[in-house]
Structure 1
């Protein structure tokens, strides 16, 4: 029995080694990248300016460049053709680049579903990536935000690590324009995005007054959060459209550069006493029922937004994603939400 087990382990090890050798020996220049869409100018992150020791002409000749990131320096293609994306798929899709494979974490969200079609699922970054599937896709670049699996991925193909929420929408576009060799597309996308934001501001001004405040409240099965200006619609509401947060949210969340702040149920009124409350609910595992209980409480009834019928249901699946493509679509979704609630 022990000999048989050792034999099986040797065979499994040999198969994995062969897969790795196949991945290392692949021809990276066999497939062309999809056509790019638009993108625009922004302040470029520091890594976007880093080009390593090679001159531009040398990079063009070699097709390689050095990219500096949180885990060190990595030689990557100047124009990657077969990218595996862990979490950053929306930024790539915004620039017209469809990864050959991506994690499945955001594939179910409605704002990305159409563009996601055709991308191979490589597993969940938290519960387990499918490394054999990644090898079989023969990537020439892997981008990830999960430190725990970085070394495993780096053995398959050049891998860069970008911490999640390091960059906002504009920063993501500038950074991935540099990584993917899509600088012109990034500049155009950002110009189009800025124009879209300005047009949306005009519409929002007709629905929310300049002195009115807005709060984003998130109820979950066992706890609750107040969101700042980077996630759960916070980028659109506070950064892009410039809507005002109550003083407590500005002081304790936004000024502290927190994506969200966990609070006790007893102090919801201290943070949600705004003219408008945008409420998102994580309905699974009893979250929906708990939210209904809170909405029947005296604390909730005292909120100005509740008394004035200005509580807006912020769909979790629509506003959970924070990538550039989703954010662009959230601008329209936000106005549609306000217009619908106004009746």
Structure 2
């Protein structure tokens, strides 16, 4: 009799344990529970202990880079959210700001990405492991590989970098074959009242044009925009900075200056060698934006 009671007790324990395990294995409406495993990421500010598989990422910077590698984003900055290139895919992702730590806390992130220029970095680090990047410290392709390291997807990031570089260089070679080895290009941006010209690492496709395609930069642009990344211009001096081609970044709408005699007299304008891009679609240097701009440049230079 005692033996039967003992066996019955063991069986009951097994049933209870099984039910308990089934219950513990469920989280977030039946989704598999995220791993608690962590890894040490060597960031530019020192080692940071981060989740091996982050499930709730808040990206105050580099959101598009993370998006390109299928990172689990729950919050992004307003510029990323505003890009038409990500409008549909990021419809349910919240807009966040470093000036609203409480809003970030409410999203329960397990990883935060921020820029070194941002405020409240100490507050962010109290919320979740925070990785900080400095704009321009890495070139635009190295930055994508670094995001790959962060998300444990370095191989995937490297494969894209190698493939994109090969294709962009090929387009650059075709451009120089058609227009000459010393063909030059300027990248201007206007909001209808103000103008700026960009160096070789300020998005708007500058990295592709100057770093990868190795197209020439006008001398005045080198003198005034290369060091700081951009240079504000008066409308009257625009012709001095114009290359054989112009890439014009704008927010759309009417721009009276482009109808002016000063603008119309620029050789690139006279020769119909102006390539227009949307500022909101070109303000990053992530894979989606770069692929989009490469198609535009290929058509604009080689049509």
TM band (smaller chain) = 0.7 to 0.9
| Cα pair distance change 1:115/1:334, threshold 3 Å | farther
Residue of structure 1 in register with 2:64 after alignment: 90
Match of 1:302 among 253, 265, 284: 265
Secondary structure in 2 aligned to 1:67? strand
Deviations 1:32-72 (A, max 9, x none): 7xxxxxxxxxxxxxxxxxxxxxxxxxxxx9633153434x5
Residue of structure 1 in register with 2:205 after alignment: 233
Distance 2:219 2:44 in 1: 36
Where does structure 2 lack aligned partners over 5 or more consecutive residues?
A: 1-26
Residue of structure 1 in register with 2:278 after alignment: 315
Do 2:105 and 2:127's aligned partners in 1 also have CA atoms closer than 8 Å?
yes
Give the alignment of 1:1-343 within 5 angstroms. Answer: 30-31=33-34, 63-65=38-40, 67-70=42-45, 73-118=47-92, 120-125=93-98, 128-129=99-100, 131-132=102-103, 134-145=104-115, 146-205=117-176, 208-230=179-201, 231-254=203-226, 256=227, 258-272=228-242, 274-283=243-252, 288-289=253-254, 291-292=255-256, 294-338=257-301, 342=303
Cα offset, 1:149, TM superposition: 2.5
* Bigger relative contact order (CA 8 A; separation at least 6): 1
Cα offset, 1:158, TM superposition: 0.9
Where does structure 1 lack aligned partners over 5 or more consecutive residues?
A: 1-25, 33-60
Distance 2:283 2:48 in 1: 31
Distance 1:208 1:99 in 2: 43
Distance 1:121 1:322 in 2: 21
Do 1:227 and 1:253's aligned partners in 2 also have CA atoms closer than 8 Å?
yes
Cα offset, 1:322, TM superposition: 2.4
Secondary structure in 2 aligned to 1:313? strand
Cα offset, 1:282, TM superposition: 3.8
Do 2:187 and 2:246's aligned partners in 1 also have CA atoms closer than 8 Å?
yes
Q: Which structure has the greater CA radius of gyration? A: 2
Secondary structure in 2 aligned to 1:335? helix
Secondary structure in 1 aligned to 2:148? helix
Distance 1:313 1:321 in 2: 16
Distance 1:186 1:278 in 2: 28
